[in-house]
Structure 1
Amino acid sequence: MLLAVVLLYVGAVLGVNGIWLVGQARAAEDVERVPAHAGTGAGESAEVPASVGGRGAEPAAARRERSPVLIQNREVAVLNIFTGFVGVVIALIFLVQGAVGNNLASVRSGGFILLFAFTYLWVAFNQYLDAGGRAFGWYCLFVAITAIPAGIYTLQNANGNIALIWLGINWFLWAILWGLFWALLALELPIARLTGWLAIVEGIATAWALGFAVLIGVFSF
């Protein structure tokens, strides 16, 4: 049940982070268009996109501020801190239970949860500090690599349990997403919009939906 709570919040806030990333990518694209049209003559105003101040259009900065997908960094950071804190607390519960009862399964659950918790806390601190995120990108690569054998192990030990099969498939999907974050932040590839949309889809389809289904008793681990 505790794992379901983590998944519920991880999924919901992952979706919000995806919306934030899409908004940041859109804002960056708008800013990049401005110099290309600077100094455009009156006769050329028809070629200027409305988003960057064509004739009769609102200024690009005002349009960006009004966009529902443009979320401030510190707003998202609050959600990330809360989700990371929930993950740390539940991970510690599993780790203590595993240490006291010599239960490897509990320790394993705690360790896996900390991968997510640390991800959210790191993103939150980066958003507050306005850090570049390259180190976080390399962290994402190692998590992506870790997620692949984690998925294989989960599927091999699912024994027909639908929730565990779903969770095992999710590990592979999360590996792809973490890999994209590595490419975006460490390699600085222009894939922010793609990464954001995938974060939204995976946040809903993997973590949030599975956590909610377990909490209402449709499935169980």
Structure 2
Amino acid sequence: MSSVGLLYVGAVLFINGLMLIGVVPAKAAAAMNLFVGGMQVIFPTLIILQSGGDQATILGASGLYLFGFTYLYVAWNTLTGASGEGLGWFSLFVAGCAVVYGILQFTLFDDPVFGVIWFAWAVLWFLFFLVLGLGRDRLGLTTGWFTLLLGIFTGAIPAMLLLTGSYATGTVEGVVAAVIGVVLFGIAWALGRRGGVSQEERVVAPVAAAGTEGI
């Protein structure tokens, strides 16, 4: 994934996380989903058209569509009031593809850090499936916090490292990234469960919005 595209993936995940935890109204997040979704469809198309048929380049660009279509789907649901089930099941497809892309980062591209990042995205999109596709509303806040945290730690931070030439990958860095990913999920889980019975009241609004207006 290009460093520029990754930066804005971080931005839209951050906004969508805030939406899921009830800080940002769904309609207020629609514009960012449109902008980034469009970018994540246009950019890989241009890359593929200019690739000269190079399979590695095409493979690298192909994963961007998964994100682009997700964010455009979110914007569509928000602006039309469509239910979230279709987006939820699409998220299951994205989660499965993300696992494959993660494996390829380890085996084909020798990039353990991005392998871990792809696996983290697989977990996140699977949570989207559970919340939107299966209606597991109790996971709404956990999903929102995990979305927000991954926007920072799998989007903004690695993008900045790439843009400044400071990115490094290897076995040690991959292990560190995996530990950070587990810790972030633990934090999201704790924040999502915080408040006991009152958590159910807090989750109603953002999950209801997610069900009708997107991630």
TM (norm. structure 2) is 0.74
- Offset, 1:158: 3.6
The aligned residue for residue 21 of structure 1 is 20
- State whether structure 2 residue 11 is matched by structure 1 residue 12: yes
In structure 2, how many angstroms separate the alpha carbons of the residues matched to 1:218 and 1:93?
26
Aligned pair partner of 1:80 in 26, 33, 38:
33
* Pair 1:130-2:81 in alignment: yes
CA RMSD of superposed structures (Å): 1.5
Q: CA deviation at 1:219?
A: 2.1
1:132 is paired with a residue whose SS is coil
Q: 1:220 to 1:104 in 2, by over 3 A?
A: farther
User: Structure 1 residue 165: deviation in Å?
Assistant: 2.3
Match of 1:212 among 154, 157, 160: 160
Whole-Å separation in 2 of the counterparts to 1:110 and 1:157: 15
Q: How far has the Cα of 1:122 moved from its partner?
A: 0.4
What does 1:48-67 align with in structure 2 at a 5 Å threshold? none
Counting only pairs closer than 5 Å after superposition, residues 151-170 of structure 1 correspond to structure 2 as 151-159=102-110, 164-170=111-117
Instruction: State the identity %.
Output: 36
Matches of 2:77 and 2:161, distance apart in 1: 32
3-state SS of 2:167 partner: coil
TM-score (structure 1 length as normaliser): 0.72
Deviation readout 1:31-87 (Å, 9 max, x if unpaired): xxxxxxxxxxxxxxxxxxxxxxxxxxxxxxxxxxxxxx1x22222000000001111
Structure 2, unpaired ranges of 5+: 170-215
Residue 186, structure 1, aligned to residue 133, structure 2: yes
Aligned-pair CA distance for 1:112:
0.4
Kept in 2: contact 1:15–1:201 (CA 8 A): yes
Question: 3-state DSSP class of the match of 1:148?
Answer: helix
In terms of Rg, which structure is larger? 1
How far does the alpha carbon of each residue in 1:160-193 deviate from its partner, in whole angstroms, 9 at most, with x for none?
xxxx322111110000000000000111002110
Deviations along 1:102-128, whole A, 9 cap, x unmatched?
201121122100110111110011111
The CA distance in 2 between the partners of 1:93 and 1:132, in whole Å, is 32
Give me the whole-angstrom Cα distance separating, in 2, the residues matched to 1:129 and 1:218: 42
Q: Say if 1:94 and 1:109, in contact at 8 Å, map to a contact too.
A: no
Q: 1-side partners of 2:100 and 2:50: how far apart?
A: 24
Give the distance between the partners of 2:153 and 2:142, measured in 1 at CA.
16
Q: CA deviation at 1:155?
A: 1.2
1:208 deviates by: 1.5
Match of 1:45 in 2: none
Report the residue type matching 2:141 in the other structure: R
User: In 1, Cα distance between the equivalents of 2:21 and 2:40?
Assistant: 25
What is the rounded CA distance, in whole Å, between the counterparts of 1:180 and 1:78 in structure 2? 23
Report the counterpart of residue 3 of structure 1 in structure 2: 2
User: Does the CA-based 8 Å contact 1:11-1:206 persist in structure 2?
Assistant: yes
Q: 1:186 corresponds to which letter in structure 2?
A: G
